[in-house]
Structure 1
Amino acid sequence: MGGFNRSVILEAVRRSGQGLSRTELVEATGLSAQTVTNITRRLLDERFIEEAGRTVQGPGKPRTMLRLNPTSRVSIGVHLDPAIVTFVLLDLTGAVIARVARRMPADEPRRIIAAMADEIEQLIVAEGIDRSAITGIGVAAPGPLDAEHGTVVDPPKLHSWHRVPLRDALAEATGLRVILEKDTTAAAVAELWTGDHQPDSSFLLIYLGIGIGAALVIDGDVVRGASGNAGEIGHIIVDPDGPECACGQRGCVEVVCTPLAIIERAERAGVFADDRVGSDPESVDSRFTDLCDRAAAGDRGATEILEEAAGHLSVLISALTNMLDVDCVVLGGPFWTRVSSVDLSLLPQLLERQSATRAVRALPVRGAVIGDDVGAVGAGCVVLDEVLSPRAEALFLDSSHERMRGAERS
C-alpha cells in the first residue's frame, strides 16, 4: 500500500505540471495529511520532487509548492524498426534530452544488439549521465513478442529474428534494466504521457511504420491483451478486390495499406518506374519519401495514390472505431509525418461517412504529439510509467504470498 500511495502522489504531481501544495495533494489523492507529509518528505530526500516556491491561496500562511524534479532520473528509449533504430534519452517528465537515429548493420540479431548497446553507452557518456540516475531502458519492437521471456518472435519485417531474447541480451550488454514492449503499445504510452488526454480518456492509435499496427487506450490505460500482443491488424480486409495476401485472403491491410503496398500501386500506375534494387526496409523508406515529395510538389499521380491509400486506411479505422466507440483517433509512427497533410485533410470526412455514431457525436482525428519518434519516446515512457504511475495490481497479494500467510496462521 505504501508503494501504491507513493505512486499516486508522484502521478498527481506529474500531471499538475506547475506543482501542488501538500494541502492540494490531500485533496487530489484522498490520502491523509500525515500520509502525504511522510511520503513527500521521502520523495524530497530521494530528489524525485523539489520545492518550487511558495504561493498564497486564501487566508493562512503561504503554501510550499512541490513539483517533479525532471533531472533527478532519466530513462532510455529505443525503437527497433526494420529501417532504422532510434535512441532517445528522456527526463522524468518524458521530455527528450537527446536523440540519435542509426541504421543498424545487416539484419543479424547479435550484431544489432551489440550495436544498440554501443550506441546507448555513447549516448550516456555524451550527455554526462550518472548511471545511478538511469531508471532503465525501454525497447519498442515489432510484434509478436513473448512478453514473459522478453523475446522477439518472428516479426514479419525483421528477418532472422526467430525467438531472439532481446530483453536479457541487451540487459547483459548494458548492465541496465530493460523492458521490452510492442512498438504500437509503446506509441500509445507516449501519447498518454505527452498528449492532452483526460485520465479517463479512450483513443485508437494507428501506427504507421514499415508495417501498420494499432493500439487501444480505454479509461486511460493501454490494452495489451492476454499475451501483450494486442493490435495485430495486418489481416483485416480493407479492399475485397485487392491483391492476394499470403494468408490466402485478398485485400488485407498487409498488402494494401503498408508503405510497400502503396509504392507498388504507384509503380503499377506509372507514377514512377519499377527500378528498385529490392524491397528491403531502406529501399521502401527512400521510395516512399520520393512518392510523398512528388505529391507535395503537386504531382497529381502521386497525390491520387496517397488519397487512395487514405481511403483504404479509413476502412480499417472505421471498422475498429465502430466496434470500440473511442473518444478519438490518433495517428503516428515513423512514416506518419510524410502522409499527415493528405490523411488529415481526408480522414475526418471519410470516417464521418462510415461512422455508426455520426448522428450522436463527431470523431476527432489528429496526429500524435511526438510524431515520427513516438515508438522510441514511448519505450522510454514505459520505463517511467513503471516508476511513477500507480498500478492497482500492486495492491493484490500473489497466490504464493497468500499461501505463505495461510501457513503462518495455521
Structure 2
Amino acid sequence: MLTGTNLQYAKSYNIRIVLESIRLYGPISRVDIARRSQLTAQTVTNITRELLKAGLIQEAHRLQEGRGAPSILLQLNPDGAFSIGLDLDKDHLTAVLVDMTGAVRQRTNLDLNFPSPEEAMVLFENTVRSLITAEKIKMDRLWGIGIGLPGPLGVSEGGVVKTVNPRLMPGWSNIPAAQMLSDRLNIPVYLENNASAAALGERWYGDGRHIGTFFYVYFGAGLGGGVIMNGQLHSGHTNNAGELGYFPQLPLQKDGPGGKIEHLGMAFNLPNLYKQLNEKGFKIHNAGGLEELYDQKNPLLMHWVENGARQLAPLMLAIEYIIDPEAIFFGGRLPDNIIKGLLELIKIQLPALHIEEKTTQPKLTTATAGQDAAALGVAILPLYTTMAPLPKVLMKKHGPSERSLRTYKS
C-alpha cells in the first residue's frame, strides 16, 4: 500500500503519494486517495487543489455512491507534462515522446553505426526538436529527457565519467552526456544504463506494473540486467546493479582478447553475430532480421541460442537466491520467438540445478513492454523522478514535485 506521512517538511513526498495513487488507481475519488494513502482528508484536498490548479490532474466524472453528493473522480491530465526517452545502443537509436500518463505520443527508430559523442548530441537535439514539433507542444511543457546508454557506466551527476567497456563504446570515455545535452536544450536530462531503463519500462508499461520485486534480463547489442525492488528501480552503489554481461562465461576459459577470461556479454554480442551470419552468406544487419532465420532453424543461430541458454541458466539461480524476485522478465531487442526459445531452454535446465529444499521459484516469463522498453524507461525518468514517492524525498524540505507545480499556458 502507498502510504503518506504528515511529518513536517513532507509535503513533497505527500504530493508524490497522491500523484502515484491517481496514476495507479485513477479515476479515483479524494476519499479513496485518503484511504489508500492514510493521509488526512484535508491533506488530500489541499494537494489535489494545487495539482488541479497546476494542470497536472483533471476531474474525470462524478460517481454516485449511496446518499449524498456524488464523488468527483480525479485522473492525471495527459497534457499536463511530457518527457522524451532516447535509447542509444551501438547500432540503433529509439526515441519516444510520452505524456504525463505515460502514453506514447511520438516514436522514431533509426539504424546507425555507433556515433561519436559529438555526433550523438546533434542527433539527440534534432530528434528531440522533431518529436516536439510533430506533437505541437511547447518546450516549457517538457519535464525532461532521459538518455539510455549501454552499461556498465561510471555515472556522476548525470555524466558518463568513464567507459567500462571500451570495446562497445569507443570514444566515450569521460563524456558528460547528460550535461552536454542539457546545456544544448536548457532542460533537465537524466542518464541511465539501458538495461535498468528497460526494467523501469516494464514496471510502468508491462506486467511488472503490479509486481513489487523483479529482475529484467535485457538483450540489446549485448546483455544486461535491471532490478526493481519493492516497486523502485534499484541502481546500486555505482548505478550499475544487474550487469549480467560481465559475469565470466562457463566453463572458465581464457578465450578473450589477450588471453583473458571471456565474459557473458560476448556470448550475446549482436554485432558479432551479424558478422558471423554475413560470412555464411546471410545478410543480417539488425535484430529484426534474425526472426525468420530462427524459424528456419539456422544452425549458426540455433547454436548461438543454445549456448546462451546454457550460460544464463546458472545465473537465474543466482538472481533467485540473492534477490528473491517474484518474477524474472526476458526482453529487449531480440525478436520474440528467439527470447521465447531461450526461455524454454533455460526452463528445461533449471530443475536439475535447483535444490529440493527450495520449494518455490520466481516466474520466468517474457517481458510485455515491447522492444522499446529501454526508450520507454528513460522517457519515464523525468516523470518518475518528479512523481514517484521515493523515500529519499523525506530527507529534503523541498522536492522536485513541489517545484514542478506550475500552471502551463497553451
TM superposition score normalised by structure 1: 0.85
Aligned partners of 2:149 and 2:192 also within 8 Å: yes
Aligned length: 385
Structure 2 CA distance for partners of 1:126 and 1:287, relative to 1, 3 Å:
closer
Q: In the alignment, what sits opposite 2:5?
A: none
Q: Is the counterpart of residue 235 in structure 1 residue 246 in structure 2? A: yes
Q: 1:113 to 1:99 in 2, by over 3 A?
A: same
From 39, 53, 60, the equivalent of 2:61 is: 53
1:125 is the counterpart of 2:98: no
- One-letter amino acid matched to 1:318: L
Matches within 5 A, 1:172-251: 172-197=183-208, 201-240=212-251, 244-246=255-257, 249-251=260-262
Return the alpha-carbon distance in structure 1 between the equivalents of residues 396 and 99 of structure 2.
32
**Aligned mate of 1:78, from 73, 81, 86:** 86
Q: Report if aligned partners of 1:235, 1:247 keep a CA contact under 8 Å in 2.
A: no
Cα distance change on mapping 1:32 and 1:259 into 2, 3 Å: same
Check if 1:3 corresponds to 2:2: no
Query: In the TM superposition, what whole-angstrom CA distance separates every residue of 1:349-389 from its partner, at most 9, and x where no partner exists?
Result: 33344334784124212222222111110001111101211
Alignment match, 1:401: none
- Which structure 2 residue ranges, 5 or more long, are not aligned? 1-9, 398-410
Aligned partners of 2:121, 2:141: CA distance in 1, in Å? 23
SS of the residue 2:90 aligns to: coil
Q: Structure 2 counterpart of 1:92, which letter? A: M
- TM-score norm. by structure 2 comes to 0.85
Is the CA contact (8 Å cut-off) linking 2:222 and 2:265 kept in structure 1?
A: yes
Give the Cα separation in 2 of the matches to 1:70 and 1:119.
22
Once residues 75 and 118 of structure 1 are traced to their aligned partners in structure 2, the CA distance between those partners, rounded to angstroms, is: 15
Counterpart residue number, 1:311: 310
Distance 1:292 1:313, change over 3 A: farther
Structure 1 pair 390–302 and aligned structure 2 pair: CA distance change class (3 A)? closer
Structure-1 separation of matches of 2:113 and 2:211: 42
Partner of 1:346: 345
Give the CA RMSD over aligned residues.
2.6
Check the 8 A contact 1:82/1:210 in 2, yes or no.
yes
Change (3 A) 1:100 1:290: closer
- The percentage of aligned residue pairs carrying the same residue is 28
Q: How far apart, in 2, do the equivalents of 1:119 and 1:181 lie? A: 19
Q: Does 1:13 pair with 2:7? A: no
**Aligned 8 A contact 2:287 2:333 in 1:** no
- Deviation at 1:175? 2.4
Partner of 2:245, secondary structure, is coil
**Structure 1 gaps, min length 5:** 277-282, 399-410
Partner secondary structure for residue 80 of structure 2: coil
C-alpha distance in 2, partners of 1:137/1:256?
32
8 Å contact kept, 1:107–1:160: no
Which position in structure 1 is the counterpart of 2:146?
Answer: 138
Using the TM superposition, give the Cα deviation of residue 241 of structure 1 relative to its aligned residue in structure 2, in angstroms: 5.7
Cα distance in 2 for residues equivalent to 1:381 and 1:355? 36
Give 1:62 deviation, angstroms.
Answer: 1.3
Relative distance call for 1:238 and 1:358 in structure 2 (3 A) is: farther
8 Å contact from structure 2 (residues 159, 176) kept in 1: yes
Cα deviation, residue 108, structure 1: 2.1
CA distance in 1, matches of 2:351, 2:310: 12
